[in-house]
Structure 1
Amino acid sequence: MRHTFFTGISKSLLLSLCFASAAFSSIARPFLGADEVSALENNSLSVSVGPENIFDNKEPLPVNDRILSLLSLVQQKSTTNAAKVEDILLQLEDINSTFNAAEKYLIFFIHGLIEHYSNNDKQAIIWLEKTLVLRDEIPEKQLYLPEFSEVNLILAKSFSAQKDFKQAFDYKKKYIRNGYQYFDGTRAEKIKDLNKTYATDQKIKQNELLANQNKIKRLKIIAAENKKFAQQRNISILFITVVVFLILLFRQIKVKKKLRYLAKIDSLTNLYNRRTLFEKGAQAVGKAIDEKQSLSVILLDIDFFKNINDNYGHDVGDEIIKIIAQLGSETMRSRDLFARLGGEEFVGVLPGVGCAEAKAIAERLREKVANKDLSEFNIKQNLTVSIGVACLEQVAPNFDDLLNAADIAMYSAKGNGRNQVCQFKDQTQDNND
Structure 2
Amino acid sequence: MIKFISIAVFAFLFIGSAWANEVVTNASLSTEEMLREADSLRTKKPKRFNTLINALKAREVELNLAQKDYFNYLKGYQLAFNGEYKKAESIWVELSESNSSLELRFRANLSLINIFAYTKRWNEGLKYLEQNISNLHLIKDQTISNLGISAASIFYNQIGQYDLGLSYAQKLDSLSLHGRDLCVAKHQIVESKYHLGQLDVDSEDIKLAIESCFISDEIVWLNLINIFIAKQLVDEQKFREVIDLLESNISDIKRLKYVPSLFQFYALLSQSYYGTGQFTEAQNFANKTIELSVGMENTESEIVAFEVLYKVAVKENNFEEALKYYIKFAEADKAFFDDLKTKYLAFQLAQHKAVEQKVQIELLNKQNKLLQASQRLAESETENNRLFMALLIMVISLLSLASIRAKQTQKRLKRLAQYDSLTQIFNRGHFTSAAQEAITACQKNQDTISCILFDLDNFKGINDKHGHGCGDWVLKHVASTCDDLKRKQDIFARIGGEEFCVVLSNCNAEMAMNIAEDYRKAIAALDSSPSGYEFPISASFGVTDSQQSDYSLEALTSNADSAMYLAKHTGRNRVCNYADVESAKDADGVMI
Scaled by the length of structure 2, the TM-score of the pair is 0.34
**TM-score between both structures, scaled by the size of structure 1:** 0.45
Bigger-Rg structure (1/2): 1
